[in-house]
Structure 1
């Protein structure tokens, strides 16, 4: 049987990894500045992470959500403590797409409406409603296109209110820093405006923190810089450091009932053990503070790069935008300098999403390589 050929692959086969380094089947070392799409938060093979998962799987790897699972309660409490999101409820699932799917479904249940507002260049996942709310017609099948979604420009409060005033919008979903779309973000005034208008028109305000959450921006969540309170917050990538886990934080104004949401694998014992390790390490090793500090060094070094159009993002959710396509540079960084970086929908943007354990000297290595390629 062949694999369904949907991924363009680099000819590299990783077999092990440690902290910010990945090693291939020839024992070649690569500096990982992409973290597998921002998934690796506390570094590859962190000893506490390995210990937590190993000890848990030796006891109990999985049972269904029809029984008590104290690890879910422990995770919810730890998440509330470290994130500062007080009094939210937690529903656990397996991925970012599932998190957004459940967020949108819950918003529709809560408001009894069905239309969605998303934003240009958004990416929210590849499942039914999540992919319909993604601004990329190439990945939206006719089945998904039946969802009613309106895409607005970032910053356009006038059109947002005009749409909400029709009183048929269940949710406004937004990435506070866009990921695949190219690291664009708007102003605090715009985000506060969304919050105000959603309250006015009985619409759920969904913060998609799938990529930007778990300390990546220097705050636990990207929205926290703007002093807003979303109704639902979706989480995933950095949450499990590679173990599949996702979830939504749900404001107490939205009430639960039996059967409203459900999952087989979501919140399983291994997933909870993985995420608890992530939260412990973020706290113990002060990785949010590290994200902020190392980011300053990145901006300083980036300012020395010629032909640079913009430095985008914050914390360790970063991008370097040029006035030419970066595909060749990205390929050369991998094969000539053994450095993983990422791309975006914007072909001129090089994305940097390293483990939160990254140090200044790792960025020095990257910028030396980048200067070499640009010259």
Structure 2
């Protein structure tokens, strides 16, 4: 008898061990992992520096609550602030929690309720973040949602200009829509959001849960465009697989998040933050990030060459090591076939193959993945 709620459409694969970009199942079969826990294991599985940091913290203490001052919280917050244009950090346990904190802070600071998000966005599955998500399939079956969310077409400056007014508390956006199909925002669109937020007094919130922590070749994806958000949210890659999220905000927002305004029992847990500290120390280096950008460009170029004769492929898009192969037909069967042949990839909607390899992936492993994608015909396994 299965004692779990059936909330996940699980693959027929049970992991026994993992290291770097390789997963081994309970039958001894090896897989090249271009999922990375859905952009979580950015340093690959079981990175030695993260193991050492976690083991060191385990020998000190595991939990005391946020009633106590915490040196490790200050250290990790300092690293996040140092590598961003923001000033204050709230720690939580997940991306949904980080986005909940952002929504609460925006409403409390502005004393307004309306929040603009975008169609095909994804911000989480709590009631607040579900309401912020611009996808009907996420809303279906849960009754009335949290009110005053407005969903606009992504990359549509005209629609944004029409919707913006002084009643808007915030605009929340992904620099690259992940679950929505690996769709990058244009520089014009993202800068228009910033401009209109500044003009109307709304807060500019960027959801960096999937794009942050080096995934696109910058510490945070918005840095490609020299944007200055009021708030960014993080999780996934921050803890290399340990549960941790964070909301970063500008100095002016501190006044709205004083004692009693928000909290999290496990937020800023020292074990998770030990992993985060080690992760940030490696990823937030100019040389490391430059190499991620180089690998991303290489992967995209090799895919373009390998799939040039596949008429079903319409576009290869994304940023850094967050890429999508957009197709004219559904790709579920093709993704399953790749998995059977030893390559783990994801979907982003019905027609997009999503690639999220560890940032430490080797060029040889990239070549191996591209070869497998090329050798398994998308046409043969697409609906």
Normalized against structure 1, the TM-score is what?
A: 0.95
Q: Would you say the 8 A contact 1:122–1:135 is kept in 2? A: yes
Per-residue CA deviation, residues 266-302 of structure 1 (Å, 9 max, x unaligned), is 0011111010010122246943222111112112211
Gaps of 5+ in 2: none
Q: Distance in 2 between matches of 1:164 and 1:352?
A: 34
Q: Distance in 2 between matches of 1:144 and 1:28?
A: 46
Q: Is structure 2 residue 177 aligned with structure 1 residue 178?
A: yes
Q: Distance in 2 between matches of 1:255 and 1:186?
A: 29
Q: Would you say the 8 A contact 1:154–1:185 is kept in 2? A: no
Q: Distance in 2 between matches of 1:297 and 1:86?
A: 29
* Partner SS for 2:214: coil
Cα offset for 1:163?
Answer: 2.2
Per-residue CA deviation, residues 141-172 of structure 1 (Å, 9 max, x unaligned), is 5455232211111232333233222x222110
Q: Of the candidates 336, 340, 344, which is equivalent to residue 331 of structure 1? A: 336
Q: Distance in 1 between matches of 2:167 and 2:286?
A: 46
Q: Of the candidates 336, 341, 344, which is equivalent to residue 345 of structure 2? A: 341
Q: Distance in 1 between matches of 2:164 and 2:297?
A: 39
Q: How does 1:1-375 map to 2 (within 5 A)?
A: 2-81=3-82, 83=83, 85-140=84-139, 141-143=141-143, 145-165=145-165, 167-256=166-255, 257-283=258-284, 286-304=287-305, 305=307, 306-307=309-310, 308-335=313-340, 337-345=341-349, 347-374=350-377
Deviates more, 1:283-292 or 1:156-165: 283-292
Q: In 2 relative to 1, CA 300–234 (structure 1 residues): closer, same or farther, beyond 3 Å?
A: same
Gaps of 5+ in 1: none
Q: In 2 relative to 1, CA 86–176 (structure 1 residues): closer, same or farther, beyond 3 Å?
A: closer
Q: Distance in 1 between matches of 2:262 and 2:143?
A: 22
Q: Would you say the 8 A contact 1:213–1:221 is kept in 2? A: yes
Per-residue CA deviation, residues 11-53 of structure 1 (Å, 9 max, x unaligned), is 1110211010111112211110010111111110011111111
Q: In 2 relative to 1, CA 281–338 (structure 1 residues): closer, same or farther, beyond 3 Å?
A: same
RMSD: 1.5
Q: Distance in 1 between matches of 2:339 and 2:190?
A: 37
* Partner SS for 1:255: helix
Q: Distance in 2 between matches of 1:59 and 1:27?
A: 36
Q: Distance in 2 between matches of 1:186 and 1:28?
A: 38
Q: In 2 relative to 1, CA 227–284 (structure 1 residues): closer, same or farther, beyond 3 Å?
A: closer
Q: Would you say the 8 A contact 1:132–1:144 is kept in 2? A: no
Q: Distance in 1 between matches of 2:289 and 2:366?
A: 17
Q: Would you say the 8 A contact 1:88–1:249 is kept in 2? A: yes
Q: In 2 relative to 1, CA 218–60 (structure 1 residues): closer, same or farther, beyond 3 Å?
A: same
Q: Would you say the 8 A contact 1:114–1:169 is kept in 2? A: yes
Cα offset for 1:341?
Answer: 0.3
* Partner SS for 1:301: helix
Q: Distance in 1 between matches of 2:259 and 2:191?
A: 33
* Partner SS for 2:211: coil
Deviates more, 1:286-295 or 1:93-102: 286-295
* Partner SS for 2:324: strand
Q: Would you say the 8 A contact 1:129–1:147 is kept in 2? A: no
Q: How many residues are aligned here? A: 370
